[in-house]
Copies of this chain bind each other. A is one copy, B any other.
Amino acid sequence: MRDPGEIVSETFCSFSITDVRFPTSKDLDGSDAMNPDPDYSAAYVVVHTSGGNSGHGFVFTIGRGNEVAVTAIRSVESLVLGLDVNEAFSDMGKFSRRLIRDSQLRWIGPEKGVMHMAIGAVVNAVWDCYAKREGLPLWELLSQFTPEEIVDLVDFRYLSDQLTRQEALEILRRAVPGRDRRMQEILSGGYPAYTTSAGWLGYSDNKVETLVRRSLDEGFTHLKMKVGRDIEEDSRRLGKVRQLIGPDIKLSIDANQNWGVNEAIININRLSAHGVYWAEEPTSPDDVLGFGAIARAVHPVKVATGEHVANAVMFKQFLSSGAIDICQVDACRVAGVNENIAVLLLAAKFGVAVCPHAGGVGLCEVVQHLSMFDYVAVSGLMQDRWIEYVDHLHEHFVHPVEIVNGRYMAPRSPGSSASMFPDSIADYEFPSGRIWREQ
């Protein structure tokens, strides 16, 4: 990316880590069958360089436990401080493996849970720093890499029985010819979104109706409702929403892991009477074989998961075995940009649509870069793909997502869009910030 002649001595010199929490549970925003009262939170990290540059990243959590993510990010710090910034940028595959493969930290995953998410926050922060240095939004930076540079970002150790480096190269090379046209398309028309804003379980019927109408007015053609607490109530609510939206708007459901495998099959088949596009997280996100059984039994309803899928090895199994029809990558669950590129390549190989998980705080901002990169340089497909959109907490971001007529507009600012306003970080710091002192 960078001429070796340009290299100046610049190292990573410190992490600022903040426990940021938003008291969202008060309005039941984000309430679902498993998460009745989330306080959307971020273990927020700013990685500083000796040259005065910085990169921003975070672990997204829903409240309690955010302090564990803070400690986990702190535990990564000693592996990063003192590293040469340009060396890291010039081989982000190596940088990412350095953190993921640290033998002692790996033990408390391995490659899963909050330790892995913390590594993801740091990897993403360094990508943010890199993209800012290049003066490019992250999706454009990634979209300018050659196929060889992209595969170098990926760790194939546990993937190559289903996706070799050579196969990944071939996927990426096939996408080279249309890159410019697709980049222009993204820049002019953005990327489709679907919305979950109307569908939280804690909302009253009146609030749901108002929000559904607003979503349609805003141009959304695909809505998602939370289900899973009570099947009678789920069916009633879903029927009501289908009446409101008519037959042509896509309607998906999300059980947030609340069912066992057999229960999921019965319930999805019942709810499918209301015209269900996909059924999301019907059961445990670890249950590849269970998802396979569900997918076979509820077809043609599609089965979706990803926001809690721990790593690329799990995605490899879901994708290669036909256990899911919709791959919901999350920017902040796996170990950052590099591992998500592995997942995009696996999804492309197995022909599964990528529809990222977003919402919470900051997830929309960051994950849009992955879908846009996927369209330009990996799958080359946008048909029947949507990025989740929820209208929470965007006001805290320096470059918030821009939704026009139900589509994400392409980010133009350098970086990964993860930067929060310093005042927001300070005000919502838990438990010492202004907002929490006032609770």
Q: CA separation between A260 and B165, bound complex, in Å?
A: 13
Q: Mark A375-419, 1 if CB is under 8 A from B, else 0.
A: 000000000000000000000000000000000000000000000
Q: Are B68 and A64 touching (Cβ within 8 A)?
A: no
In the complex, A286→B339 CA distance in Å? 15
Taking a contact as CB atoms under 8 Å apart, the answer to whether A72 and B68 are in contact is yes
Tell me which residues across on chain B come within 8 A of A158, comparing CB atoms.
260-261, 283-284, 287, 290
Q: Are B262 and A289 in contact (CB under 8 A)?
A: no
* Docked-complex contact A111 and B67, CB < 8 angstroms: no
In the complex this chain forms, how many copies of it are found? 2
Cβ of A438 < 8 Å from any Cβ of B? no
Contact with B along A98-125 (1 / 0, CB 8 A): 0000111111111111111100000000
For chain A, residues 93 to 151, give those with C-beta under 8 angstroms from any C-beta of chain B: 102-117
Could you tell me the distance between the alpha carbons of A64 and B101 in the complex, rounded to whole angstroms?
A: 13
Task: Report chain B residues within 8 Å CB of A321.
Answer: 289
Complex formed: what's the CA distance from A37 to B103 in Å? 8
Known: A260-B157, A290-B161. A64 touches B284 (CB 8 A): no
Which residues of chain A (277-316) have a CB below 8 Å from chain B?
283-290, 293, 308, 310-311, 313-314, 316
> Which residue, A103, A157, A293, A314, has most C-beta atoms of chain B within 10 A?
A103
Q: Do A104 and B61 touch (CB < 8 A)?
A: yes
Residue in contact with A71 in the complex, picked from B36, B68, B262, CB distance below 8 Å: B68
A286 touches B117 (CB 8 A): no
The answer to whether B262 touches A287 (Cβ under 8 A) is no
A14 at the interface (CB under 8 A from B): no
Q: Which residue of B lies closest to A103 (CB)?
A: B35
Contacts of A293 in B (CB 8 A): 161
Residue A38 lies at the interface, judged by CB distance under 8 Å to chain B: yes
A90 within 8 A of B: no
Chain B residues with CB under 8 Å of A59's CB are 108
Q: Is A257 an interface residue (CB 8 A)?
A: yes
B112–A115 CB distance below 8 A: no
Contact of A108 among B111, B113, B160 (CB under 8 A): B113
B260 with A286: CB separation less than 8 A: no
Q: Which residue of B lies closest to A39 (CB)?
A: B104
CB of A201, distance to nearest CB on chain B (Å): 12
Q: List 24 A-B contacts (CB under 8 A).
A: A61-B107, A62-B104, A62-B107, A64-B104, A64-B105, A65-B72, A65-B75, A67-B74, A68-B68, A109-B113, A110-B308, A112-B286, A114-B114, A156-B260, A158-B260, A158-B261, A158-B283, A158-B290, A159-B260, A161-B261, A286-B313, A286-B314, A288-B288, A289-B321
Q: Which residues of A pack against B, CB within 8 Å?
A: 34-39, 59, 61-65, 67-72, 74-75, 78, 102-117, 156-161, 257, 260-262, 283-290, 293, 308, 310-311, 313-314, 316-317, 320-321
